[in-house]
Structure formats: C-alpha cells, structure tokens
Amino acid sequence: MSDSTPLQSGRADNVAPTSQLSGILRRVSGFGDILQRSMGGGDHPLFIQIERIDGPVNAVISGRPTTLFGTNSYLGLNFDPRCIASAEEALRTWGTGSTASRLASGNQIGHANLEQAVADFYQRPDAIVFSTGFMANLGAICGLAGEGDLILYDAFCHASIIDACRTSGATFKPFRHNDAADLDRILGESTFPASRTLVVLEGLYSVWGDVGFVKDIATVAKRHGALVLVDEAHGLGLYGANGRGVTEAQGAEHLVDAIVGTFSKSVGVIGGYCVTVHPALKSLRFLARSYLYTASLPPAVVASARTAIGIIQSEPELREDLWRKAERFCRGASALGYSLRADPGPVGALHMKGLYQGFEFWRELLSRGIYVNLLVPPATPNGEVLLRFSVSAAHQDSDIDLFLSVLRDMAPKAAIA
C-alpha cells in the first residue's frame, strides 16, 4: 500500500536507529522495533485496516470480502435502521459535536434523557454518562476510592480498571480470578476498614469469554461490609431477562453498589455509564475528572445510544437469536476438536498451541475471508495464544457454517485434530 506508515510497510527509512537514541526516545522506539520484527510479511493483527464496511459483520479487508467474527457488535445495532435514523435526526438538528464538557456548554437535553433511559433500564434512581467506557471506570473508581481506601479487583480485570486503581491514590490489590474464597481471605486479613474497601469485578470477561462469579464474590464482599462495583461492558444486552447483564442473570443486583458499562459494544456507538443506588453518585459529577474535563458525547451518538437501549429492553428475541447462533458456533467448534476456554457464549477464545502457529492460523483465516482477533502475551492470562471470536445476532447461519467449515479444513494445522 503506497500510503502506509513505516511501521505498516516494514520500512524504517525515516526512523533513526534505536542505537542512536537515548532515554525516553530509546525506550519508546525499542517498542516499535519489536513490533516491526514481529510483523514478517503479510497482514498483522495490530494493523488491519477495514477498507469498506457492508454492515455489522461484513467488510472488505486486504481487498477481500470478509465476514467479521471479531467485533463487539453482538446485536448488530450499529447498523439498525432505527439507531441510524435517530443519529441522522440528531446530527441534522444538533450538529456534529457538543464541543464542550457537561459542566460547560456540553450539557444538552439529550444527555439528560439518555441518563434517564439508562437509570430506568437498570431501575435505579440515577445514572451518569461518560464519553467512553474507559472513562466511566476511571471516573467511577477514582471518584469512589482514594487515599486511605483499598480496592480489590479480579486479576482478569480490564486495563481501564487497573489504570483507574493506579490513578485513584488508593491501595489496590488483585484477588485470584473468579475466586470468592481468595477475596474472603484477603478481606479477612485486611487492615483497611471494610467500609473503605471497594471490590471491582466484571460481569463477562472478554478474553476467555467466561462469566464473572458476581453473586459469589458480591456475597463475600457484602458479608465483610465492602462496596461492590461490576463492569458489565460485555454483559450488557447479552445476559439477564432484561439484558442488564450477568449481575441481573445471577440475581445479584441487590448485592451490587455500582454498575459501569459501555455503549461501544452491544449498543453499537461509543460512551460509558455508571448507575448506583447510592445518592453519593450525584457527587461523581464533581469528583470524576474523566467526566469533568472532557467533551460530552456527540448528539448523534447520544440519540443512537438511547434508541439502542430501548431496543435491548423491548426486544429480547434479539438476545435469544444471538444465543442460538453462539451455541451453534461453539458446539460446532468443540465438535471439531478445538479447545474453547469457557462455556459456549457470544464471545470466546480458541486455544492455539503457540505464537507462530497462532499468527499463521490467524493469517490463513483472514486469507479465507474470516476475521477474528489474535490475542498474545502479555495481553493474555498464563501466556496463552488465543484466537478470540465473537458471534453477532447479525450473523446468518450460513456465516457460522462457513466459519466452521474453514475451521474443519484447518484443524490439522491447529494440531488439535
């Protein structure tokens, strides 16, 4: 590609050799060198460009029509005509952006209506909307916990939770993934008052695709008197009778003090939110710096998110369709001998034997018109190499059958058959 960057093309002609650099530039440049070396020839998972998009699960990549099995569009709502119509209307009426933070001139009626819709959806008194899910975690966790407090988080938590812990000024420590007994032990030995302890976990962990043991962990936390925050970024729209997530599905909503989520996955746009039963939430608007010091969501995004939440609430059949397709795929992949890291669900991971094999496998899938995510250490637990897939309600059964037939052909290369 003529307009590719030096990193994408593997050329480094306008980049000074690392050996001539020192300090910060040497460290940063060294990282780029490692990326270049790891690229070899052909497509690279970090630099895939979608050249055209033809709907929630169809695209053109490297000149080839490709079926996407690596997006977070679980319900296909990013192309739902009702969401698009709301966005178009808001775009024409309210313009392209709010151009300011909520506390300056960026506080529009649409933002308040969206917050009300989120609060109603969760049957909680109030909700606060952030500009991304990352910022929602940052704002909620740093707003709730600070110096003199303790944050205990599941060891598999997302980077936004870890960064929030680091930024908060609180003491923070992981407990073993999904291990309520480990949390119990840490809380029992803690010198921090339980009332100054925040426990953070996720509803659905998106690397393996395993659900969080929300009820077990929240029960332990509550027994000690700690606060509980659950990130339902991936659970929203997928789990629970009303689509509120894993916390709802496990009947654990009464045990949870705050729920954080994102609009960037099943909702199909961008943005984040936090809901809680506590009136203290109102103070987050003044305590959460990621809410205070950044521009509010664009009106079209706000309008589309509100429409999507209404659809998630009123159309459980979309969720049922997603689960039917997810189970069809997971059952099929397991029957072919692939090792799934978790129970069947809309997101999951196929275990690969090694880094080289993972790369080659990912590239061959792409060359056959199937896009998935390749996850490699250090971004994975236990140094695993994983092919992360996601299923969408927007997939046709024929898409799933195509993916399975490619996996059947490739099974010998995965050394699993």
Q: Is 297 in the site for ligand PLP (CB under 6 A)?
A: no
Interaction pattern, residues 196-235, with ligand PLP; x per rule: CB under 6 A: ------x---x------------------------x-xx-
Number of H helices, E strands in the chain: 15, 16
- Interface of this chain with ligand PLP, residues 318 to 337, rule: CB under 6 A: none
Is the peptide bond preceding residue 378 cis, with omega within 30 degrees of 0?
yes
Q: CB of 60: closest distance to ligand PLP in angstroms?
A: 24
CA-to-CA distance for 112 and 100, rounded, in angstroms?
A: 15
With residue 201 as reference, give the H or E element that holds it: strand 197-202
Cα angle, residue 238 at apex, residues 320 and 79 outer, rounded to 5°: 85
Q: Is 131 in the site for ligand PLP (CB under 6 A)?
A: no
Choose which of 133, 139, 174, 209 interacts with ligand PLP (CB under 6 A): 133
The residue type found at 22 is S
CA-to-CA distance for 309 and 261, rounded, in angstroms?
A: 12
Torsion of CA 99, 102, 108, 113, to 10 degrees: 140
Q: CB of 136: closest distance to ligand PLP in angstroms?
A: 7
Choose which of 158, 177, 244, 325 interacts with ligand PLP (CB under 6 A): 158
Q: Is 111 in the site for ligand PLP (CB under 6 A)?
A: no
Nearer to ligand PLP, 36 or 290 (CB): 290
Task: Give the residue nearest to ligand PLP (CB).
Answer: 133
Torsion of CA 356, 360, 363, 343, to 10 degrees: -80
Q: CB of 217: closest distance to ligand PLP in angstroms?
A: 15
**Could you tell me the two tokens for 307?**
């429409």
Which residues make beta-bridge pairs with 417?
none
Q: Is 373 in the site for ligand PLP (CB under 6 A)?
A: no
Interaction pattern, residues 254-293, with ligand PLP; x per rule: CB under 6 A: --------x-x-------x---------------------
CA-to-CA distance for 388 and 23, rounded, in angstroms?
A: 36
* Collapsed DSSP state (helix, strand, coil) of residue 160: helix
Q: Is 250 in the site for ligand PLP (CB under 6 A)?
A: no
Chain residues binding ligand PLP by CB under 6 A are 132-134, 137, 158, 160, 202, 206, 231, 233-234, 262, 264, 272
